Amino acid sequence: MTTIYLIRHAEAEGNLYRIAQGQHDSNLTDRGWRQVRALERRFSGVPVDAVYASDLYRTRATATAIYRPKNLPLCRCPGLREICVGDWEGRTWGDIARRTPEAMADFGSRMDRWSIPGAETPAEVLARVRAAVEDIARENPGKTVAVFSHGYAIRLLLANLQGVSLRDTGAKSPTGDNTAVSLLEWDGERLRPVFTNDDSHLKTPEYLAGEASPRAKRAYALEPGLWFRPLEAPDAPERLAAAWEEAGEPGPVPAASLTLEGFLDGEPVGLLHMAPETGRILLAHIRPDCRGRGLGVQLIGQAVQHTRARGGESLSVLLPGGGSGRAFFLDCGFLPRGGTAEGRELLEKPIGFDPGI
């Protein structure tokens, strides 16, 4: 009998920033790395003979929880990749819901009829992932294997193994949490689920202590997604100046090459003013009546995307002394790097990928 632990990757940028990741590479969040450490504790006493992961960064990073402590090689398996979602990849879920609401609904609830140009169909993903897991089982007879894949792909596979059709997967097979563990057994002919989507390692005192920390990074995976467009309205300078003043910034608004406006449905709720060529954020502003809903972090997601697209590996912001935005930026993973002669504080956030993973 071959034992397979099937594990979803830890929380990644797309989960937090409300962006469709698909087969795009994305980093783990601070919460994601805490989940990796919790997963390492869970498997510290579990014998594992081999570790496989999709070749995308977020699964490889999550797999470090097992293969590094156990001194095992990591086997990269493209067949374990997440579904390719075509031109949805890299777009916000808010934009996708606005432009293609019916397809968005089908993606989560009616996998049997979801199809968009350039994307895999759920049926194709199911066939690919099931074949990959069965091949891994055949390669490791009688062994215990850890396999790291993705939320949608795992959801399709587990539903299929439990006899749930593609039509009913949306209603009967929920997506497991980040780092959720499922146990499969292979008897040489077929896969059998023993348990599915267990996240007990995220309910331990050690993990929950990090969640209760004042610096714990909050996840907003269920919050509504924003969509963005360049700020080009006739009154754009006045609106940008008003947001700048509300943020407590003195003087005129400095020039920058990118100003995005974020919308919730059709309502403007936020502004991002930045220089993506250097990663410097000048203003990240959410309308006061829309704060506390996890929307501001989606501005940071746009800053990450635009800066990384230009080859940047860090974001930075200069804050006035005593500025109210400091807690927000710390919460988003920025770290203090010292003050300046103007009495402002420099905060930075690394966004590059670890070349050792």
Strands (E), the chain: 2-8, 50-53, 74-76, 144-149, 181-186, 191-198, 227-230, 258-264, 267-275, 280-286, 314-320, 335-339, 344-350
What CA dihedral angle connects 21, 273, 288 and 265, to 10 degrees? -40
32-90 per-position pLDDT tens digit: 999 999 999 999 999 999 999 999 999 999 999 999 999 999 999 999 999 999 999 99
- pLDDT for the residue numbered 232: 87
Q: Identify the CATH homologous superfamily for domain 227-350.
A: Gcn5-related N-acetyltransferase (GNAT) (3.40.630.30)
Look up residue 290 and give its DSSP letter: G
307-336 per-position pLDDT tens digit: 999 999 999 998 876 666 888 999 899 999
What CA dihedral angle connects 301, 307, 308 and 309, to 10 degrees? 110
Confidence class of residue 215 from pLDDT cuts 50, 70 and 90?
A: low
Domain segments of the chain: what residues?
2-212, 227-350
Residue 31 has pLDDT above 80, yes or no: yes
The Cα–Cα gap between 185 and 139 comes to: 14
Confidence class of residue 216 from pLDDT cuts 50, 70 and 90?
A: low
- pLDDT for the residue numbered 326: 86
CB 274 within 8 A of CB 280: yes
CB 20 within 8 A of CB 198: no
CATH class of 2-212: alpha beta
CB 166 within 8 A of CB 122: yes
Confidence class of residue 344 from pLDDT cuts 50, 70 and 90?
A: confident
* Residue 283: count of CB within 10 angstroms of its CB: 22
Residue 144 has pLDDT above 70, yes or no: yes
Cα 201 from chain centre:
19
Write out the two tokens for 334.
Answer: 């920025």
Question: What's the predicted TM-score (pTM) here?
Answer: 0.93
- Cα separations (Å) of 350 from 28, 197, 256, 272, 329? 12, 31, 21, 18, 13
Q: What mean pLDDT comes out for the span 17-38?
A: 95
- pLDDT for the residue numbered 343: 75
3-state secondary structure of 149: strand
Q: What is the mean pLDDT of the chain?
A: 92
Q: What mean pLDDT comes out for the span 296-308?
A: 96
CB 2 within 8 A of CB 186: yes
Confidence class of residue 223 from pLDDT cuts 50, 70 and 90?
A: low
In the chain, how long is the greatest CA-to-CA distance?
71
